[in-house]
Amino acid sequence: MSTEIWISTAKNPDKRELEPEWHYAGRLEVSRETDLWKVVQGYLGFRAVSSLRSVDFYADLDVDSPGYQKLLEAEPGLGTTHLLTNSEYRFWLALKWSGPPSRIFFAAQRALLEPPQTRHRPEPHPGRLKRPLIVGMRLATNDGRLFDFS
């Protein structure tokens, strides 16, 4: 199971498919980010849909990805990774789950770059050849739902 993170800095991106306003940004480590993964499982029908009003998680961003570069370009002053991880910038987020069946979950509200307050930033797996930038994010509900999906 692989879950990709896609980002859009457009005002109103298409929430039916990932191109052309959406850009690959990295991966979600589902074994580590259990709170968000439980929410996604609810939308997949594997458990009851969560009643959480928001969820904080860490994303493993690929610093060479187009989505990461779009985040840096979108907000003047986000030009360094330190500022990126301590920003309160809002953007659209989508999760692409490889399945089966494959699904795309579009955040119902803009996501927020913000380190989760309840836990420390995890270390990347030492066996990875390319180390991701681990960035805190928050999703909030829109009329009781965290995601729309296709």
Task: Please give the Cα distance from 22 to 92 (Å, whole number).
Answer: 9
pTM: 0.85
Each residue's pLDDT, cut to its tens digit, for the chain (150 residues) gives: 579 999 999 999 999 999 899 999 999 988 888 889 888 888 888 888 878 889 999 999 998 999 998 888 876 665 555 556 667 788 999 999 988 888 999 999 999 987 666 666 666 666 655 778 888 899 998 888 899 876
Task: Please give the Cα distance from 7 to 19 (Å, whole number).
Answer: 11
